[in-house]
Structure 1
């Protein structure tokens, strides 16, 4: 619409009441940038108010762009009940006549306007230039107000209007967060209930009921390991020895001796039995018959029993690795030998090795003759190689 508008400049202190003068800062500018070359900038917390009689009102300011700074946010309240919030753009453009507030279709009556700067910095403050309103019919402007013929601009910024003060942002954010938390708790409860139901159910389902032991009939069972029978030990270092039982005397020892004289081998203990490494002291009645004796032992100490190999009935030897002589295997050594007697030849030798007679009566030739006769009567003897 094109009608006469009344203008209230930012420098008109008779019409505008700056309630927080320490947060408002008067500025000067060229006439091309600001109405009558003046501006009043406000930062966060700045407040101002004015009264007018009309049916429409517009608040103009300067909207620019400041890198690294947020655009100012300003709240306008009409008649203490209608609240609107406006924010300047920060998109790289500059507008010297930016309408922060544009309200029409008001009652044609007396109204009040309150201005509160919610967010603004000195780097990018709220810049108030002037206020224009459409007066009521028959109203006259004051001396400080200017009358211009113009039309009210269309709103260029979103304006919210309510019958009371706007809802706080904290309440809205809290409601959203509470709703999300409620959804999260509900989802967690559903998951826990489903998990418990799944855990309490049966893990497997069978077509027919059966006992637990019947269900394991087809299972593969481990076969117990059978220990192999112990192998028979052989000769060598790992052979087991035990005391040989007393065996019956041999045929040679059972028969009476054909010689009147005792055997030369019966007077002394058996060399083989005495040298056995594995022996234990036993009583005289338990001493076995030596395989080299005449059948009984009447003199000398009792000999320990011979050792036998457990898995061999043959008599043990001095050492498992020592071979037996053929005469011992044939049993010839158990045959008693005839007694042998030796006569003194009477020959004596001095320290120089010369022969001499014991009495001095016999000559050397006589002694030699006697020796030859004695040696001729001695039968030859043989020993084992």
Structure 2
């Protein structure tokens, strides 16, 4: 499978988690809730660049079967392509397009001497985004090497997340470091694995560069001829961390990003307004205050917006607890809740107890999903393991369904999750 079909140190992780977790539900997994908003990256290298930091990446799943994705999306693309808009590229100040063949040629020229095969590429004028990938052999065995190019809004949460190292709770890895270069660019160097559960020991190393102008370059390499479905061909990917850095910093890539046309659209109908964002750190701290005193909070983390997790221990082992807080979800209520319980104040409450992520033996997930009458939504899940991708370490989650329900219905979420005035 080619790099363009995947893409980022973690939308791939996110996609895999969604596929595995979603498959446990008897509902349309394609019905994604707008409030969660997918990261929307279509190339794997681009996804790998941006999800790395937002490794909360493991998705909550609506009890009604609709998937709920943490993280931000590409609003521009969602307002055009996703809404059926007529998409056009603005030619103003945009350099001439760079073809896929040119990107492949540049990648080969920048790599050390070796043999090349399996060349794939897409130019800067492609609506799916530019990328280049080759199978590179320096004499030590073939390895897939790919590069993806992308624009991000300078200073945005997407730009920050792109170079933020993932949380070990979600994405086990050997090393990761983020640095600031002399020109103000952020560079992340990551060494990890294609599969978080290490069911296949394919190594995946990644460098992501984001410049102050919003040029994003992501370089990925593996120790096999493809990131998936190929035998491991060498002990490690071919490029060292310093070589990955040098490759990502090559000025040719920045020039190619500049040649990506900015997309404008004329939607056939106005795009749906995005729900206001909920501060992630505030969600995390609120959750920490709401868990019962009988459990100890071992660790905590989350994302900038709407999503947080705790690892708690009641003396019987670690238990992973995650929460997603959203606004303006009323349009999805019918799809998400169906015939769920409705309280006197109009709050809908859905619950589920079932298997957790595939590939992790014995894991169960207990979920309480509530929506207030005005569309404010809180979804909380607990697991019988300290990390979703790891095997069960206890019989049941540390928090009972009653405790999860009490947390989800707490009025403390109201101030965090109150709709903004219109």
TM-score, normalising length: structure 2: 0.18
TM-score, normalising length: structure 1: 0.20
Please say which structure displays the higher CA radius of gyration: 1
